[in-house]
Structure 1
Amino acid sequence: MGAATAWAATRRGLSVAVLEQFGAGHDRGSSHGSARIVRRAYPDPVYLRMTGRAMELWRELETDAGTRLLRTVGGIDHGPLRDPERLADALATAAVPHELLPPEEAALRWPGLRFDGPVLFHREAGTVDAAGAVAAFLERAGVREADIRYHTAVRRIVPLGELGTSGASGASGASGASGAEAVRLETAEGATLTARRAVFAAGAWAADLLGGLVPLPELTVSQQQIFHFPRRDPVADPWPVVVHKDALNTYSLPGGRDGGPHDGRKIAEHNAGGPTTAGTRDGRVDPAARDRITAYVRDWLPGLVPEPFNEATCLYTSTANDDFVLDRFGPLVVCSPCSGHGAKFAPLIGEMATDLALGGAPPEPRFTLAAHLAQVGRTVAAQWPV
């Protein structure tokens, strides 16, 4: 999200610095890897509307960077808890082309998959190369003179009053924004940067970094398990991405480079991992999760060999209701966490964060700090100390 914000801000001619505590293309956070789902199928009209603009921006990034990031294979939603009929109604309202199929017809179309109820299919879905996208965001931001610093951790955030008109820049921050507030960032190496605005896309590190300054909602960090299975027919056309909610809440997609040399099938449970922190995660796969997914493959994906050939972990950072946090508090813009479903929205979140930094479009009401705190009876009473 920070890389996407740098791309969005530099496209508007802003002076931007990006501070990344790890190296280029690291896998310590949430939105890495070569295959993440993009889709239009959301029952919630807020996210459904956002998917349309996000897809437009993905295409703009591909054109800007001269590289292919999207792989369109279509999307399937099924299972009684996924409620395909409700999703079909939502897509119809948004004029998104789709089909609602009986299970027998879906099984004929995708013989490697098994269905036991209505199946929603829409073509505007597939995967995005998240690692490639981060590289493209930053490459294009660098061409537009962003100052990109790796292995640079922010250790202190200092509120300031009126900033002079010299046009300093800050971490994923934009100079020249209106308003009196400013912020100084101090890094672990002792460097300082001063900016009108600083955009924090810190994910699992958000509470540690901003907890004393911003009234964040309660955030839960969890370690998720991901598995890759070989296809019985490796040269067949790739299946669509699949979201299946039944006894398990699973998703699957073409695995891309993530599984190694084989373009197999990447499968995981959504939000089924145990609690952890960014600093204490162990990166070890839970054997019980492996057993559950292997049994799921055996029951529902007969076109796969039910023996995983690769596995990994990643982090979710989630709010209580899985809505995003995207709001401004003084000179700070908070644009994480994304509750395990943000990668598909990355260029749009960068655009929205830039709007907030500039004082332009207001935040989506549900994503504000006040809305999240209201869920638990709290209010944003604190003011930015200047």
Structure 2
Amino acid sequence: MRIIIIGGGVMGLSTAWQLVRRGERPLVLERFARGHHEGASHGETRNFNNAYGEAHYLDLLARAREGWDALGIVDGEPLLRLHGLVSHGSGAALGAGSGAGLTDIAAGLTARGIPAELLDGAEAAGRWPGMRFEDTVLFSSDAGVARAAASLRELERRTVEAGGEVRWDTRVRAVSPDADGVDVVTDAGVFRADIAIVTAGAWTEGLLSGSIHLPRLRVTEETPAHFTARISGPWPSFNHFVAPGAQPANVYGMPTPGEGIKVGFHGVGDEIDPDARPHRPGWQRELAAYVREWFPGLDADSAVPVSCTYTTTPTEAFVLDRVGPLVVGAGFSGQGFKFAPGVGATLADLALDPAARAAAPFRLPT
């Protein structure tokens, strides 16, 4: 067998789709059932946030956008709902990368032809009366949400239609590389491949320990919540880059039709063993207090918590690299979903060309 992908979340399925587009027939092995809630890819929506000041993220986002556009219309609408993104907060230079403030981010987006508009807080509150803002607000109309669950279904459909295979409920126990390829040990037997691509989320470190020297991958359980809107909107997606100590962490969120407005603190959850995840809501009192202060258009007492995992590197940079016959995509740090088609294309490059390299910040230390 030429290529096995371990992990059937959005990164594994995106990689499989990018490979079948190039004529490959990968096998995807996923330990859980289709539609499971044990990892980081489930749910109806994920933020499509373009407020980055770092060139390597903007480059990857551009590559991802090509993939999203190629996936086209699914069930009557695109997989990206581009209702816009507002970013604000005095902590922007700390929260958006490379010390970039909102003005710098706006200039970087504009230089790439991405719509970016700077507003004052009062003007922004007039446009989006359900929200409060700090003084300067960055609005990009070319952002919004990715339809997460629909994306997974479509990526699987296209992979299988083009000759790839996805096997659910197939747990990988070990990955053993050698000079000629990789043995992938599962409960269903041992599979032999030329290349194994590991996109196993919270289980990556356990699978690759002893094979690849990874940065520490910290796994946490995060529990944002959906809140009921008191007004009909409009509701954009949003980032609030808070000053240190003003809130438990930066805040993100987006509208999810049928569920409400999702609001969450970024990366505050307890560290967990992914095989013993408690599915226990945390920080809900603080989240309700935040909503009460910053979202006059939401019912702060209506929270319905949801649970997902973050797998975070010490720098929050992704890992996209290859060592021998092993390719790894890991550490997406709560911000990876929107990049998935670009990540998949990058991992496909690494699998098919031993000389390929991801951007330097995504590489393993040498």
- How high is the TM-score relative to the length of structure 1? 0.85
Give distance in 2, aligned partners of 1:56 and 1:64. 16
Q: Which residue of 1 aligns with 2:238?
A: 242
Write the deviation string for residues 104-146 of structure 1: whole angstroms up to 9, x where unpaired.
Answer: 1111111111113110001011111112111111111000111
**Does structure 1 residue 44 correspond to structure 2 residue 39?**
no
Q: Which residue of 1 aligns with 2:4?
A: none
Q: Which residue of 2 aligns with 1:344?
A: 338
Q: Which residue of 2 aligns with 1:13?
A: 23
Change (3 A) 1:230 1:65: closer
**Is the contact between residue 64 and residue 140 of structure 1 (CA under 8 Å) also seen in structure 2?**
no
State which drifts further: 83-92 or 299-308: 83-92
**Does structure 1 residue 364 correspond to structure 2 residue 341?**
no
Unaligned runs of 5+ in 2: 1-10, 93-100
**Does structure 1 residue 253 correspond to structure 2 residue 254?**
yes
Q: Which residue of 1 aligns with 2:6?
A: none
Matched residue SS, 1:279: helix
Give distance in 2, aligned partners of 1:139 and 1:65. 13
Counterpart of 1:114 in structure 2: which amino acid? R
Write the deviation string for residues 222-278 of structure 1: whole angstroms up to 9, x where unpaired.
Answer: 111111110112xx344110100222310110023xxxxx34100000011111121
**Is the contact between residue 195 and residue 351 of structure 2 (CA under 8 Å) also seen in structure 1?**
yes
**Is the contact between residue 35 and residue 128 of structure 1 (CA under 8 Å) also seen in structure 2?**
yes
Give distance in 2, aligned partners of 1:66 and 1:2. 25
Give distance in 2, aligned partners of 1:307 and 1:19. 41
Q: Which residue of 1 aligns with 2:199?
A: 201
Give how far 1:308 is off.
2.6
Give distance in 1, aligned partners of 2:220 and 2:117. 35
Give distance in 2, aligned partners of 1:39 and 1:253. 10
Give distance in 2, aligned partners of 1:238 and 1:184. 52
Give how far 1:64 is off.
8.3
Give distance in 1, aligned partners of 2:340 and 2:351. 16
**Is the contact between residue 60 and residue 343 of structure 2 (CA under 8 Å) also seen in structure 1?**
no
**Does structure 1 residue 56 correspond to structure 2 residue 66?**
yes
Give distance in 2, aligned partners of 1:205 and 1:290. 27
Matched residue SS, 2:224: strand
Q: Which residue of 1 aligns with 2:138?
A: 120
**Does structure 1 residue 316 correspond to structure 2 residue 310?**
yes
Give distance in 1, aligned partners of 2:136 and 2:109. 15
- How high is the TM-score relative to the length of structure 2? 0.90
Structure having the higher strand fraction is: 2
CA RMSD of aligned residues (A): 1.6
Give how far 1:198 is off.
0.8
Give distance in 1, aligned partners of 2:324 and 2:304. 45
Write the deviation string for residues 63-117 of structure 1: whole angstroms up to 9, x where unpaired.
Answer: 5897632111100000100232232232233332211001111111111111131
| Correspondence list, 1:1-386, <5 A | 1-63=11-73, 68-82=78-92, 83-162=101-180, 182-189=181-188, 191-233=189-231, 236-246=232-242, 247-248=246-247, 249-256=250-257, 262-286=258-282, 289-359=283-353, 361-370=356-365, 380=366
Q: Which has the larger radius of gyration?
A: 1
Matched residue SS, 2:135: coil
Matched residue SS, 2:346: helix
Matched residue SS, 2:139: strand
Give how far 1:61 is off.
1.3
- Number of positions where the alignment pairs a residue of Structure 1 with one of Structure 2: 342
Give how far 1:159 is off.
2.4
Structure 1 outlier segments of 4+, above 4 Å: 63-67
Change (3 A) 1:50 1:158: closer
